[in-house]
Structures are given as C-alpha cells and as structure tokens.
A and B are shown apart, each in its own frame.
Chain A
Amino acid sequence: MPNPATGISRRSFLLASALAAGAPAVALSGCSSNQSKSAAVTFGTFVGAANTKAYKTFLDQFTKDSGIKVDLTDVTGDYVTKMRTELIGGRAPDVFLADDSIMGQALKAGLVTNYSDWWKKNTAKIPLDKFYPDLSLFCKNDSGQFFGVPQDANPVSFWFNQNLLDQAKVAQNPAQLQEAGDWNQEAATEILTKLKTTGKVPMAIETNWWYWTSWITALGGQAFDDAGKCTWATDPASLAALKWIFDQFANGNLVYAGTLPKGQAVDALFYSGQLATCQYGRWIAPNLQQVKNFEYDVAPFPSKSGKDFAPVGILVGAICVNAKSKNADAASQLVADFCGLRGQKYRVELGAVVPTIEDKSLNGAVAVAKTPAHGHWYSDIAAKAYHPLYLSRNPDGNAALPGTIDKLLHDKSDYKTFAERTAAVINGEA
C-alpha cells in the first residue's frame, strides 16, 4: 500500500533502492574484462604517430588472412609505467609489448603465457629457433621456454651532424674514420674537442643504461662477466673507459643531459642542430628524414682497434600473450605474425629497427637502407651488440639505475665512486 505521505509504496521504494544500490555494481562490472568468445584480441603497444598507418595496414592484412580482429591501443606517454599498472590491475590487453623490466616482472609473477607450448604445435608459423639467442634471453625462463617473442631490436650507434663537423674543420668524419680503420678513442676525443669551438654541444649523455655500457665495452672494457654480473667497478679497462667519460665532462666535450635546460631533450637538440653528436639507435632515422637543415650520417661507436664494430648495447622489445587472455590461441597467432618474418620485414622496411631473426632477406632489408649514407652498417653493429641480462633478471636494479646515475652526476661524484655505486645497483647489492 502506498505511503499517504509520500505516495511511494514500500515495495516500489525497496525496488528503487535496490536498483540504486545495484547501479554502481552494474557499472563496475562493466569495467571488468568482458572479452567475447569471438576471434578478437586486444593489442597494446607503443606505435608512435609516424607508424600508425603502417601498423593499421599490417593488422588489416592479418585480420584478412586469419579472420582475427585486432583492437590496437597505441599507449602514449610513459608506456612502461602504464602497461605495468595495467598488468598489476589485471587489465592488460591480450597481447602487449614488454620491455626488459616488464618482462622480468611478468615472467616472475606468471602473468605471461608460455609461448613455447603454442609454438610446439605451430612451428611453421614462426621460426622461433632462428631468433638470435642473445636477444631472446630476457624472454626465457631458466628452462629455456619462451614467454615472449622479441619483436625487433635497436643497437646503439654514433650519429653526427656533418655541417657542425665541417664548421669545426674536422677533416674526416666518424664514418670515414671507421672505413680508414682509425675510429678510436683518440679520434673521438679530437673530434669532440674541435666541435667545442662551434659553440654547440659536442655530445650529451643520459641516464639510460645503453650509453654507459656501450661506451665502456666499445672502449675495450668488460661491463659484464659471463654470468651477467656487472664488473665495471673492478675491471681496469672499464674503469679507464669511465675515466675517459668523466674527463670529457671536465673539459666540456660532453654534457650530462640532466643539466641541460628542461624541455631540451637530446633528440630534439640533435634535430635542431644544437647538438653535434648523439648515441641513439635506428629509431631516430624516420624523424631525421624530415630534417632539412643539416646533413647527417651514422657510424658505429669508436673501437679499440679503430676498425672493428665495437660491442654496444642493443634495445629489444618483446611481444607477450597475457596469461589471463581468453583468446590465447588467437593472441598467439598475432604474436607469430607480428614477430615472424612478415611482421619484422614490414617494420625493418619502415627504417627504424633491425630484425631479431637471423634471416638473409631481413638483413638485406637493413642493408639497402639509403638513409643515412651508412645505414647499412646497422646489421654489422647489431651482430656485435648485447642485451644485458640484469635488465630482466634484476628489475628493481633496472628501475633504480637511472635515478642513481642522475644523483651521482648531480653530486659531481668521481668515476670510481660512480662505478662502484652503479655496479652495486645493477647487481642488486645496493
């Protein structure tokens, strides 16, 4: 009977209250994973504005061939933090890109699917046995089972602004010195010293691991032992290389990027002609092709001999299948196509990466690169490159290293203290 005071019956009020109370629950349940049983997978990765169209074309073809619809999310901004948060919250996509730190944590916590299980039944779909072993290490557990597939890689190289070299009256640029067998530590010091006269920044260094390990190994040091332990605090050649870096700081040939004005990223400085050299991978090539105000080229890092391709760091990303995926088979098929020959060839031809599969046609795609003039060297650089094991085996050290380096450089530490502290962080002893 309706209440005379309100005109609302008890039953209708209770029903309304239940609905009102239940509404948020219904709304929340909408937030939970509601993957359909149809062949559709979600794919989270970092695409970048320049590659959006190419990715779409590739995935459209995949859908056409396999009947599997792909919902691509281009994660912008701080990819690692965002994806890690999604993983922790159980909201990660079916298929996602994992860098070494995510891979290490996800593998340890059992959040990624054992890809070897699927591959054993579908060996024809992806040549997993042809992947470079060193570049796949971080995707494997101790038993050698794949939990992710390396999508492509990027060895670090020595980019330079030819116009600034001319302005500094440098007779032979690093690429010419490499061809002449004279691209060594002394030559690098000489070039940087001359570049200082232009009033521009000769070289900048950041907190990323690859700068430090690459300079150390290129100049003859042994950054890591066979077990993957960082040895640069005890290895004399590594200490000598670090001393050289710190000497360059002291004489103004090298600037720590953390002391540059904020908003002036290293790549942006290089594109704008304010920085003469930078140590990045092939990923900046597409952006450089848009640059019209100066000539540029690439060389390997200087080596001890002056003619060898020095061992340098290589960045690798892997594609994983979420352990919670309800479409694991479809997701695995996407990984096979994306990281297999077709996918890698597609991305290598975009001109920003090198392959992770040992394959002549893929290496050929790198070799024919016309931009920059010595872009074909990327295969040679990659062949000698390494991907430190600590990155995935000690994710905490991996995460803490940039902050440690930043603090040490701001505190004006000497190279020995720098070596000891950073090695301790890398080895999980800090």
Chain B
Amino acid sequence: MNSRTSMLTASKASADPTTVQTSPKPAAVRRARLRDFGWAMGFLAPQLTGLIVFVVGPMAFAFYLSFTNWDGFNTLSMAGLDNYRFVFTDPQLAASARNTLWLTALQVPGLLVSGLIVAYFLQKAGRMTSFYRLLFFAPQVTSSVAVAAIWLYLFNPQISPINSALRSVGITAPDWLQNPHTVILSLVVVGIWQGLGYQVVIFMAGLSNVPRTLLEAASIDGANEWQKFWRVTIPMLSPTILFLSITSIIASFQVFDIVYVMFDTNATSSARTIVYEIVQIAFQQNSFGQASALAVSLFVSLLLLTGLQLLAQRRWVYYAE
C-alpha cells in the first residue's frame, strides 16, 4: 500500500468512529509531502523564476534604492529616509498627487457608470450587440500614441472641431490642455473614452450572469424596470463592480503614457501625475533613489487602498450561493 492509499484509508477511518484509527507513520507522511512539494516546485519553477527575476527582484531592488542616493552612473550612497522626506514634502509632488487623486475621483466613477449604462443598453441591442461591443472596445486596443494624436487634435483650441462647434453657439472654449482648470478633465475624458470598452465587456459578462428567475420573480411581485435594475441587477453585479473599481483605481493611479505622449517631458504642474513624476525624476533628473521612494510610496498607497476596498466589500458586495 503506498502512502497515498494509506492516507485515504486513514481519512475514511477517521470519518467512521466505529473503526480503529490506524494513522500512517509520520516519516512516511513527511516523505509524501516532500515528494508532492518537489513535484509542485518542479512544475512551478519556470513561472517562479520569471516572477523572482522580473517582479520580486526589481521590487526588492527598488525598495533598497529608495534608501540611497544614486544617479545610475556613479557609486551609490545611503540616504536614510531623506528620499521619503522629499516625497512627502516636495510641493510639486504634492501637486502631482492631487492631480492623480482628482483624476481618479473623476475617472473611476465615470468609467463605472458609463460602462454599466452602455453594457445595459447593449444587451438590448439584439443582433447588433457584437458590432457595438467591437466599436466600444476598439479604443482599448488602440495604441496610446495614436489616441494621444487624435485627442491632441480634438483639444487644439485653433483647429479643434469641438471648439469650432462651441464657438458656433457663442461659447468660447478653453485651451483644454493648457488651462490648469481643464487639463485633468481633458485627461479624464480621454481615459474614459479609451477604457470604456473594457468596462463594457466585463459588465456585459456580469449582466449575462444575473439569474433570469430573480428578474422574473421581481416582475411578478410588481417591480418596474428601475426597481429591478436597482434592487436585483446591481446587487448581483456587485462582485463585478468591486473588481472593476479596484482595477480602475489602480489604473488611474498609474496614468502615465497618455500624459507623456501629449506633453512629452514638459508637462505643466497641473498636468503631472505620480507615475509621470517617477519617470521624470528617474530618467530626466537621474535621481533613482527619489524615484524609487516615490514608487514604493505609490505601491504602499495602492496596497492600502485595495485592502480598504476589500474590507469594505463585506458591507456591499453580494456573492450568490
């Protein structure tokens, strides 16, 4: 009898109080576990190697760098907590953090609400559903450079059709990307336009999993469309909303490419985001220590925020049995 069979017998025996328990020898169990562990590690080795080399290693190095002064070229020296002091006291970084929070506060609800509305109506689009879904998803798979080029044109105050349209009805539109009051709003519009497709696809998958029996039961009880949506569909969609809110918040906090392509290395104070600052500090100012401290701070902030969201889910997320 091999160890696995003996363990099976033992577990059956423990389930039956009338039988005499014959537990396997501890050494045999250890050997079996060790062998299983060896198999598991063997199969996991390629993935684990990649994870350690490309994720864990760089993260640990960045954490170490955050306590040093290093320009990339010369010998590094220890900086203690100076880089973290810089991160929490620099006025420009405070402005960039505010911009990022502002962008997140506008973009995440914007994405969730618009994504849900579009998905809800797309479900009712019949034969055209696939076509519309493709249409909404197209910006998601368009490169950020192309997206930035399109929106740079649309936001150009002199040649923009948006501004021309506003001018025709007597409204003087702002210089969207130069005006400190409209630049974040402009980035949010681009973000929602580009990210909507993904939200729609996920929401549609969530909507298709809402049991028809519940909706039919609600109809029989006299619920109207709005009540069915608000009291049945939304609670059933809550795990999807949680997932999308977590991923959208993380994505919003990490906005970089669109800012970089639109503004290059000369983004004004009101347009700079945290990740943009990380790149500027590291690769323009060669302060890898300060950039790492900012990256670590961002990582910890996102970790805490995600943790809070997961804690809060107990109050509002409903998982169907």
Which of A's residues lie within 8 Å of B, judged by CB? 5, 13-14, 16-17, 20-21, 23-25, 28, 78, 81, 84-85, 87-88, 105-106, 108-109, 111, 207, 258-264, 395-396, 399-400, 402-403, 406-407, 410
Instruction: Let me know if A261 and B49 touch, CB within 8 A.
Output: no
Instruction: Let me know if A410 and B269 touch, CB within 8 A.
Output: yes
B285 within 8 A of A: yes
The 8 A CB mask of B40-74 against A (1 = contact, 0 = none) is 01110110011001000000000000000001111
Q: Which of B169-184 contact A (CB under 8 A)?
A: 175, 177-178
**Given A109-B73, A261-B177, A395:B286 Cβ within 8 A:** yes
B152 within 8 A of A: yes
B253 within 8 A of A: no
Q: Find the A residue at minimum CB distance from B263.
A: A262
Cα separation A5 to B283 with both chains bound (whole Å): 55
Instruction: Let me know if A402 and B286 touch, CB within 8 A.
Output: no
B153 within 8 A of A: yes
Instruction: Let me know if B286 and A396 touch, CB within 8 A.
Output: yes
A–B pairs, 23, beta carbons within 8 Å: A5-B4, A17-B42, A17-B43, A20-B42, A21-B42, A21-B46, A24-B50, A24-B53, A78-B265, A81-B283, A84-B72, A88-B72, A105-B73, A108-B74, A258-B268, A259-B178, A261-B155, A262-B156, A262-B177, A262-B263, A395-B286, A396-B285, A402-B266
Q: Which residues of A contact B286 (CB under 8 A)?
A: 84, 105, 395-396, 399
Q: Which of B1-56 contact A (CB under 8 A)?
A: 4, 39, 41-43, 45-46, 49-50, 53
New A-B contacts (17) at CB < 8 Å, excluding given A21-B42, A21-B49, A105-B71:
A17-B45, A20-B45, A20-B46, A23-B46, A24-B49, A24-B53, A78-B265, A108-B73, A261-B158, A261-B177, A262-B155, A263-B156, A399-B285, A400-B285, A406-B266, A406-B268, A407-B269
Q: Give the Cβ gap from A340 to chain B, nearest Cβ, in Å.
A: 29
> Which 10 residue pairs of A and B lie closest in terms of their CB atoms, listed nearest first?
A17-B42, A109-B73, A263-B152, A21-B45, A88-B72, A24-B49, A262-B177, A105-B73, A81-B283, A20-B46
Cα separation A28 to B283 with both chains bound (whole Å): 24
Q: Give the Cβ gap from B77 to chain A, nearest Cβ, in Å.
A: 14
Which of B's residues lie within 8 Å of A, judged by CB? 4, 39, 41-43, 45-46, 49-50, 53, 71-74, 149, 152-153, 155-158, 175, 177-178, 262-263, 265-266, 268-269, 280, 283-286
Q: Find the A residue at minimum CB distance from B148.
A: A263
Instruction: Let me know if B153 and A263 touch, CB within 8 A.
Output: yes
Q: Which residues of A contact B45 (CB under 8 A)?
A: 17, 20-21
Q: Find the B residue at minimum CB distance from A410.
A: B268
Cα separation A5 to B4 with both chains bound (whole Å): 11
Instruction: Let me know if B74 and A13 touch, CB within 8 A.
Output: no
Q: Which residues of A contact B178 (CB under 8 A)?
A: 259-262
Cα separation A20 to B74 with both chains bound (whole Å): 37
Instruction: Let me know if A262 and B152 touch, CB within 8 A.
Output: yes
Q: Which residues of A contact B155 (CB under 8 A)?
A: 261-262
Q: Give the Cβ gap from A259 to chain B, nearest Cβ, in Å.
A: 6
Q: Find the B residue at minimum CB distance from A25.
A: B49
Cα separation A267 to B83 with both chains bound (whole Å): 38
Q: Find the A residue at minimum CB distance from B45.
A: A21
Instruction: Let me know if B73 and A87 touch, CB within 8 A.
Output: yes
Q: Which residues of B contact A78 (CB under 8 A)?
A: 265
Instruction: Let me know if A111 and B177 touch, CB within 8 A.
Output: no
Instruction: Let me know if A28 and B42 touch, CB within 8 A.
Output: no
Q: Which residues of A contact B74 (CB under 8 A)?
A: 108-109
Cα separation A108 to B72 with both chains bound (whole Å): 12
Q: Find the B residue at minimum CB distance from A207.
A: B266
Cα separation A400 to B284 with both chains bound (whole Å): 8
Cα separation A302 to B320 with both chains bound (whole Å): 78
Cα separation A43 to B280 with both chains bound (whole Å): 27
Q: Give the Cβ gap from A210 to chain B, nearest Cβ, in Å.
A: 16
Q: Find the B residue at minimum CB distance from A260.
A: B178
Cα separation A326 to B142 with both chains bound (whole Å): 41
Q: Find the A residue at minimum CB distance from B177.
A: A262
Q: Give the Cβ gap from A402 to chain B, nearest Cβ, in Å.
A: 7
Q: Which residues of A contact B175 (CB under 8 A)?
A: 261
Q: Find the B residue at minimum CB distance from A257.
A: B266
**Given A78-B265, A258-B266, A406-B266, A106:B42 Cβ within 8 A:** no
**Given A258-B266, A264-B156, A111:B73 Cβ within 8 A:** yes
Q: Which residues of B contact A17 (CB under 8 A)?
A: 41-43, 45
Q: Which residues of B contact A13 (CB under 8 A)?
A: 39, 42
Q: Give the Cβ gap from A5 to chain B, nearest Cβ, in Å.
A: 8
Cα separation A207 to B268 with both chains bound (whole Å): 13
Q: Find the A residue at minimum CB distance from B4.
A: A5
Q: Which residues of B contact A262 (CB under 8 A)?
A: 152, 155-156, 177-178, 262-263
Cα separation A276 to B115 with both chains bound (whole Å): 47
Q: Find the B residue at minimum CB distance from A106.
A: B73
Instruction: Let me know if B262 and A84 touch, CB within 8 A.
Output: no
Q: Which residues of A contact B265 (CB under 8 A)?
A: 78, 402
Q: Give the Cβ gap from B52 to chain A, nearest Cβ, in Å.
A: 9
Q: Find the B residue at minimum CB distance from A16.
A: B42
Cα separation A17 to B45 with both chains bound (whole Å): 7
Q: Give the Cβ gap from A292 to chain B, nearest Cβ, in Å.
A: 21
Q: Give the Cβ gap from A141 to chain B, nearest Cβ, in Å.
A: 15
Cα separation A32 to B144 with both chains bound (whole Å): 30
Q: Which residues of B contact A410 (CB under 8 A)?
A: 268-269
Q: Which residues of A contact B73 (CB under 8 A)?
A: 87-88, 105-106, 108-109, 111
Q: Give the Cβ gap from A57 to chain B, nearest Cβ, in Å.
A: 31
Instruction: Let me know if B49 and A399 touch, CB within 8 A.
Output: no
Cα separation A25 to B73 with both chains bound (whole Å): 26
Cα separation A28 to B49 with both chains bound (whole Å): 11
Cα separation A78 to B266 with both chains bound (whole Å): 13
Q: Give the Cβ gap from A249 to chain B, nearest Cβ, in Å.
A: 16
Task: Choose from B41, B53, B71 the contact partner of A28 (Cβ within 8 Å).
Answer: B53
Q: Which of B4, B284, B285 has the most CB of A within 10 A?
A: B284
Q: Find the B residue at minimum CB distance from A6.
A: B39
Cα separation A88 to B286 with both chains bound (whole Å): 10
Instruction: Let me know if A261 and B156 touch, CB within 8 A.
Output: yes
Q: Which residues of B contact A406 (CB under 8 A)?
A: 266, 268
Q: Which residues of A contact B285 (CB under 8 A)?
A: 396, 399-400
